[in-house]
Structure 1
Amino acid sequence: MRTPSALAILCGGQLLVVLDQTIVNVALPVIQDDLDFSPAGLAWVVNGYLIGFGGFLLLAGRLGDLIGRVRVLLAGTVLFSLASVACGLATGPGSLIAARFVQGIGGALLSAVALGMIVALYPEARERATAIGFFSFVAAVGGALGPIIGGALTQGLSWHWIFFVNVPIGAFITVAAARVLPAERGPGLRSGADVPGAVLITGGLMLTIYTIVSPSWTTGVLAAVLLAGFVVRQATAATPLLPLRLFRSRTLSGANGVQLLLVGAMFGFLFLSTLLLQRVFGFGVSETGFALLPAPVAIAVVTLLFSPRLNTRFGEPPVLAAGLVLIFAGFLVLTQVPVEGPYATRLLPGILLVAVGFGTAIPALTGLAMAGARPEDAGLASGVFNTGQQVGGALGLAVLATLAASRTGSSSAPGALLAGYHLAFGVAAALVATAFVLTIVVLHRTWYPVAENRPAADVSDATVK
């Protein structure tokens, strides 16, 4: 199974998910006009997906460990592709949001096991760093292609085709995975099919994300009750869905905490940058795609060519810290973007700083998050990591978008809109600064070069048993 073809298939699954997310962002204004979305309702094109994705990630990761990760990956790819067809055929806000929710479930099944399979394929630290770097590179390529393909399809054909394009990619991955990746049986559902725990965590996460994107005391309290019940269940169940021993790892817990803050800032950055370019700078859909292109290109170059070497030479924590410093500087630059002036001097420098920093930080963060997991828990650790990503993304998007809108008010003037974006970018900078402090405080005991010979306890402060 440990072949370049296997790694390429897993990276292809990641490409499918990332490509869809970036394509959708650039087409949001057109979708709003065509399907008559309200300004508040438009966010649900993104949020519907996030709720399905984030709500099912932990369950998907555990299913992969129990019944075989290849089976879960295939099921997720097929479901994602079918839901993409439904998205493309949507004729109103309700049908599109519902299809996006199902698409999120498919993305959860696919993504939850892909990273765990890579970790299982490459147990040696140096090879794992290279594989994760390539995995991150492919995600960045999806980010680069998404805005351009989305702009071209939306203007040349219609926004419906930004979803239809997922179908041939999904079909190819399904056929290739079935042929190349050997079937894994796993120990079976009886070894850990914690049904009550699955119901509690899935419902709790879905309601948590729903509360984040659509605040409500009722859903918030219910989400808290379900999540508390889940923790109690995991502490007492004979075969828990999420063994709490995983969080004894200082590295895993710290990395997931950093991720919540970092991804929250980055989701807001992508969403707000698209709106800034179109509503303040007056860019069209295709122009917006090309204007955002330097960011994923920079991320791709850094993750493929530099991050694996830096992580091997210096260790993940210091590389992560350096990346966070660059992202923080980029957000500070974006808080000073003027209304007038050329794109190359008023916006591009901030975009490049954020992109280079993210390309530096994310492979290190991914490696840290997976370092403390045993092989039999790799799928679950991957699900935890991806869940944190979606919860952090939903929270960041909701908070930053709300702050920008509150500062702007009812005005549509470029100056008023820009003031809202300035505030949101400043808050994003604060989130990244907090992530930096967390990296220094929590992960300081793991500052080591990957290539050094060191005891396993250095990877995870607390032995996971």
Structure 2
Amino acid sequence: MRERWTLAVLGTAFFVVVLDSTIVYVALPSIADDLAFAGGGVQWVISAYLVTFGGLLLLGGRVADLLGRRRVFLVGIAVFTGASVLCGSASEPAVLVGARVLQGMGAAVMAPTALSLVLVTFEPGLERNRALGVWGGIGGVGGTAGLLLGGPITQLWGWKWIFLANLPVGVLLLVASARLLAESRDADRPRAFDASGALAVTGALVLLVLGITEASWPALAGSALLLGTFVLVERRAVAPLVPWRVVRSRRLVTGNLLLLVAGTCVDGVLLVLALDAQAAGSRSPVHFGLTTAAMTGASVVGSVVGQAVVTRVGVRAVAVAGTALLAAGSVALTTLPAVGLVVFGAGLGAAFVSAQIAAVSGAAPDDSGLAAGIADTSFAVGGALGVAVLSTVEGTGSALVVAAIVAALGLVAATSLGAHRATSGVTHLPAGRAP
């Protein structure tokens, strides 16, 4: 019984992290109007969270493994909850964006630590598999719930409550976690943190997003410089975030490239649709949430079918089909929105599951946990880039065409995958994002 309660607590934390990655989309127009964001600056409400989350995800998981998962998990909840209150209290754009950075930091600790605690709580075998099945379901429900709940909350009580609602949940999580969770850590691993690598890659992402949205060449140059610094740091670090041996696998690299493409498409398209549908006043937040939930439902179907097909025909066929549907769905959204959402969602699910299988199966068994963390990071970083790129394109139709082009590039990459067949479906469930 204690294990079930533990799973409930950890699953709730995961649910909140996934929820906050989608619930904001529905509220963006209201936030932009209320805080008077200049130009396309409101996209930073999304980007700040995704960049911080993606940049610090690997470091957050490693810190928890070495310093104690229970202790670090509690700190993550406290930071996330406090940042949520700051978000809900913000009266200036800079304050809200800064609070979203803190929220992303808390999420980067909560998500991988919660999954790690699930793995150490349940013994390998049937019980752990059941727990992971529940975990995967929570991810899908959380993504859909964010789109569904964001509309009613924004329309009835205002956008601030999409953040303030995290306060009672966070307090309950802190109390329950302190009572239920046992401490655990990896005593055999070297006590070293690649903080410089995490700072370099996060700074590079921030400058890259800034350079894209502001058309700033100095920011882009700074991003390239920090990325180069990150590579040098990783080659020399005692405990690198991304060991060089891992990136030598073509399958792993291609899988992560496809996850980057999937993240770029889904977050970029959601942003474009949210701003287009509501800015013109053609749809209420509630209507938009219900409409886009169809995309999430289709992605779940695409993921389940894709997983089954991978074991029969291999990863490449599913990846090619998924990215092709992503491209077709993006184009269809310009003229047939209802059809486009379903096609896009199905392609997202298929592309995501095939890319994730490729990314994880491309690593040695001892590196499977690391490969899973890199996969999560790729999807989150893709989301940040999608928001940055598509927010700068003038016109909804043009932005959706750009999304189709990105998906087409993913299609080219998918053709380079081998015909490897997965024997056990998805070997990893995302730590903090859901397709």
Q: TM-score of the superposition, structure 1-length normalised?
A: 0.80
Aligned residue in 2 for 1:329: 328
Distance 1:359 1:74, change over 3 A: farther
Task: Give the structure 1 partner of residue 228 of structure 2.
Answer: 228
| Alignment correspondent of 1:444 | 418
Give identity over the alignment, percent. 38
Partner of 1:408: none
Instruction: Name which of structure 1's ranges 39-48 and 77-86 shifts more when overlaid on structure 2.
Output: 39-48
Q: CA offset at residue 41 of structure 1?
A: 2.2
Q: Which runs of 5+ in 2 are unaligned?
A: 426-435
**Could you say if the C-alpha distance between residues 287 and 240 of structure 1 is closer, same or farther in structure 2, counting changes exceeding 3 Å?**
closer
Task: Mark the CA change 1:30 to 1:280 in structure 2 (over 3 Å): closer, same or farther.
Answer: closer
Aligned equivalents of 2:120 and 2:210: distance in 1?
33
CA shift digits 1:59-87 (9 cap, x unpaired): 22332343344444332222111110111
Counterpart-to-counterpart distance in 1, 2:358 and 2:69: 21
Per-residue deviation, 1:49 = 1.8
**Residues 262-301 of structure 1 correspond to what in structure 2 (within 5 A)?**
262-279=262-279, 282-301=282-301
Give the secondary-structure state (helix, strand or coil) at the position aligned to 2:90. coil
Which residue does 2:404 correspond to in 1? Answer: 429
**Aligned equivalent of 2:103:** 103
Q: Aligned partner of 2:423: which letter? A: V
Q: Which moved more, 1:184-193 or 1:255-264?
A: 184-193
Q: Provide, for residues 275-334 of structure 1, a one-character-per-residue CA deviation record: whole Å limited to 9, x for no partner.
A: 23224571122222222221223334554x545544455554433333223222212212
CA distance in 1, matches of 2:174, 2:306: 30
Any conservation in 1 of the 2:40–2:392 contact (CA below 8 Å)?
Answer: no
CA, structure 1 residues 214+387, in 2 after alignment: closer, same or farther (shift >3 Å)?
farther
Q: Hey, what does 2:54 align to over in structure 1?
A: 54
Partner of 1:410: none
Which 10-residue stretch deviates more, 255-264 or 213-222? 213-222
Q: Distance in 2 between matches of 1:182 and 1:376?
A: 25
- d(CA) in 2 for partners of 1:277 and 1:426? 17
Letter in structure 2 aligned against 1:392: G
Q: Does 1:384 align with 2:374?
A: yes
What runs of 5+ residues in structure 1 fail to find an aligned partner?
338-345, 406-419, 453-465
Give the Å deviation of 1:155.
1.7
Q: Partners in 2 of 1:6 and 1:438 — Cα distance?
A: 41
Task: Give the letter aligned to residue 351 of structure 2.
Answer: A
Q: Distance in 1 between matches of 2:189 and 2:213?
A: 33
Partner of 2:139: 139
The answer as to whether partners of 1:126 and 1:312 remain within 8 angstroms in 2 is no
Residues 179 and 198 of structure 1, relative CA distance in 2, 3 Å threshold: same
Shift of 1:213: 3.7
Partner SS for 2:415? helix
Q: Which residue of 1 aligns with 2:340?
A: 350
Letter in 1 for 2:349: G
Give the match for residue 397 of structure 1: 387
Change (3 A) 1:319 1:430: same
- For residues 340-372 of structure 1, the C-alpha deviation after alignment (integer angstroms, 9 at most, x for no partner) is xxxxxx321110111122223323333333334
| Greater Cα shift, 229-238 or 250-259 | 229-238
CA contact (8 A) 1:58 1:383 kept: yes
Residue-by-residue CA offset, 1:145-165 (whole Å, 9 max, x unaligned) = 223322211121121111012
Give the Cα–Cα distance (whole angstroms) in 2 for the partners of residues 171 and 300 of structure 1: 31
Give 1:9 deviation, angstroms: 4.7
Residues 372/61 of structure 1: CA separation in 2 closer, same or farther (3 Å cut): farther
With structure 2 as the length reference, what TM-score do the two structures score? Answer: 0.85
Whether the aligned pair in 2 keeps the contact of 1:50 and 1:209 (CA below 8 Å) is no
How far, CA to CA, are the matches of 1:103 and 1:45 in structure 2? Answer: 11
Structure-2 change in CA distance of 1:166 and 1:217 (3 Å)? same
* TM superposition shift of 1:27: 1.0
1:359 aligned onto 2:349: yes
Aligned mates of 1:314, 1:131 — CA distance in 2: 28
- 2:38 aligns with 38
SS at match of 2:193: coil
Change (3 A) 1:196 1:296: closer
Cα distance in 1, alignment partners of residues 380 and 318 from structure 2: 23
1:31–1:6 distance in 2 versus 1, CA, 3 Å: same
Give distance in 2, aligned partners of 1:63 and 1:383.
Answer: 13
Say what the alpha-carbon RMSD is for the aligned residues.
3.4
- Following superposition of structure 1 onto structure 2, how do residues 14-163 of structure 1 map, counting pairs within 5 Å? 14-114=14-114, 135-163=135-163
Please tell me whether the aligned partners of residues 333 and 350 of structure 1 are also in contact (alpha carbons under 8 angstroms). yes
- Distance in structure 2 (CA, Å) of the matches to 1:50 and 1:421: 22
Q: Distance in 2 between matches of 1:122 and 1:356?
A: 32
Pair 1:110–1:36, CA change in 2 (3 A): same
Aligned-partner Cα distance in 1 for 2:3–2:308: 21
Distance 2:245 2:288 in 1: 46
Q: CA offset at residue 268 of structure 1? A: 1.3
* Cα distance in 2, alignment partners of residues 389 and 232 from structure 1: 23
Contact preservation (8 Å) 1:258, 1:439: yes
Work out whether residues 132 and 363 of structure 1, in 8 Å CA contact, stay in contact via their aligned partners in 2: no
2-structure distance, mates of 1:132, 1:311: 20
Task: Report the CA distance between 1:110 and its aligned residue.
Answer: 2.0
How far, CA to CA, are the matches of 1:311 and 1:225 in structure 2?
39
Give the count of matched residue pairs. Answer: 425
AA aligned opposite 1:247? V
Contact 2:46/2:387 (<8 A) preserved? no
How many Å separate the matches in 2 of 1:310 and 1:323? 12
